[in-house]
Structures are given as structure tokens and as C-alpha cells.
Structure 1
Amino acid sequence: MSVSIMDSDPKLETAPFDPRFPNQNQTRYCYQSFVDFHRCQKIKGEDYEPCEYFKKVFNSVCPGDWLERWGDQIENGTFAGKI
């Protein structure tokens, strides 16, 4: 029995259009989604499912090295955003 590689791959999705960020430059959309995710988890708790929407968006829009750097900054208490 053969198993397809596609069966184990996660479904890739792009972030939906957000009228607050109409331009092609998605930097602000990336940053705001990252901050919104962490604010949502802080207010509602880590198990609150609707927060995952923001996580999907920033994972789709943001470069991985930014996410890694911001994650480190949050852990170290040096993140510039207000969460």
C-alpha cells in the first residue's frame, strides 16, 4: 500500500484580504497580526481557538526570521510592541 506525501503535508493557505492593509507591502499586516495573536492569547488564554486566526495570518505573511527574532524578544522582555 502506497502512502502519498500530500496526505501528511499541512494545507497551505494565504492570508485573507484585510481592508486595513490594502497595499502590496504587507509589513504592517504581518506585524499587526503577530501582535494581535499575542494580545489575544494574553487576554483570552492560550487555548482560545479564535486566536489561531492571527497566527495563521502572520505565519503566511511574515518572513520566518522576523518571527524568530520577535519570539526571542518577547521571551527576553525586549519586544518593542505593546502586548
Structure 2
Amino acid sequence: MSATTETLEKLGLPLKTAPWDPRFPNSNQTKYCYQSYLDFHRCERIKGEGHSVCQYFKDVFQDMCPNEWVEKWDGQRAAGTFPGKI
């Protein structure tokens, strides 16, 4: 068990990670990251911002995606230049 895991347990915070998704069986999880980002924003567009159902996708992309990518994509969405279909 790592020091980080022990620290989280002492603070009473749950340690969780994105679950395995059979659509992305390879070790390269880039597509899983990107798809979860898209799914989160699509879900919020359909269900409304802050809807609890969308939290699953947010948790997954925050776990799987590098922060730099998310920041870049958020900037692109704000500028209207995001290449994905949301």
C-alpha cells in the first residue's frame, strides 16, 4: 500500500479509480479518457449542468486524463474551437 493510499484512508476519503471498460481493452487509455470527457459534456447538455448522473463520466475523465489535456479542451470549448462533437 502506498503512502498516498494510507493518507487517504486516514482522512476517511475513499480511494477509487475508473472502472475497466470493455470498449477500451488496450493498455493505451487515451480513447477512454477522450470519450469520457465527451460523454460528460454530452450528459450535462442533455440532463442539465450538475446532474448527478453525469458525475460518473466526470470522475472517469478526471481519473484517466492528464490535467493539461482537460485544460486545453476546456479552453477550446470556451473558444468554440473544440474538435469533438458534444
Q: Which residue of 2 aligns with 1:57?
A: 60
SS of alignment partner, residue 16 of structure 2: coil
Q: Higher relative contact order by CA 8 Å / sep ≥ 6: 1 or 2?
A: 1
Unaligned runs of 5+ in 2: 1-6
Of 47, 50, 54, 1:47 maps to 50
The whole-number CA distance in structure 2 between the counterparts of 1:25 and 1:73 is 24
Q: TM-score, normalised by structure 2?
A: 0.84
Tell me the C-alpha RMSD between the 2 structures. 1.8
Identity over the aligned pairs, expressed in percent? 57
Equivalent in the alignment of 1:32? 35
Q: Which runs of 5+ in 1 are unaligned?
A: none
Number of matched residues? Answer: 79
- What TM-score do the two structures reach when normalised by structure 1? 0.86
